[in-house]
Amino acid sequence: MKITCHMITSLDGRLLPERWGDPADGTIDQLVEAHYETTAATLNAEGWIVGRRTMAAFTDQAAPAPLLDEPLDRPPHLADRGGRAVAVAIDPGARLNFPRGHIDGDHPVVVLGERVPDERLAALRESGVSYVFAGPDGDRLADAMEALARGFGLRHLLLEGGGVTNGAFLAAGLIDRISTLICPTVDALAGVPSIFDAAAPADSHPAAGQHLRLAACDTLDGGVVWLRHDVIHD
């Protein structure tokens, strides 16, 4: 399965549009609304992937629940998605609540750790939500993506952050293409989330063995630059 990381950023790669100043012509809100979803639609993906914090904007979130002391080997649950796109949330502790089996018309899928208790799995099934496992702590993303691709026959998903989730996918070598919309604005504050924020030691190299090749570059209305890079893996 192919994964494209699709993001809209400031010139310095930051991810919070509410912090950005307006360009010389127009507003940031106009640029984001005009270009982000429009360009995403041209990428012909069958769904999208975000982290727990990003998905919390679309559904409810509970306080952390006690996890099992030991992981359990349980099968994934793949509900009938009815031909809909999938909305994948990386949520190792199963903190997200889904009162219904869709997110803006897309079918929700949760990537879990193997120490999630059975009652949380039952609640997801009752809501019509699919889930797959990513190892004991929910960080074996390759296993989860393989289960999704095999179970649903998926060929292409968009990875849409935030930075920690994008960084984890990059470090795991799972990104095949990067699609970046660069807005004519600068954030400039240290510590603001960026496109890739891998949670790793300071002396590590999460992007090691991965090389970018420019595939396309377009200038869009409002001065937004749209870059597409293929990721070449050693």
pLDDT tens digits, 99-145: 888 898 999 999 999 999 999 999 999 999 999 999 999 999 999 99
pLDDT confidence of 64, banded at 50, 70, 90? confident
| pLDDT of amino acid 151 | 95
Q: What is the pTM of this model?
A: 0.95
Cα(92)–Cα(138) distance, integer angstroms: 5
| pLDDT of amino acid 51 | 96
Nearest Cα residue to 96 out of 116, 75, 73: 116
Q: What is the DSSP letter of 137?
A: T
| pLDDT tens figures, 17-41 | 999 999 998 899 999 999 999 999 9
Mean pLDDT of 156-182: 97
Cα(165)–Cα(102) distance, integer angstroms: 22
pLDDT confidence of 69, banded at 50, 70, 90? very high
- CB atoms < 10 A from the CB of 87, how many? 24
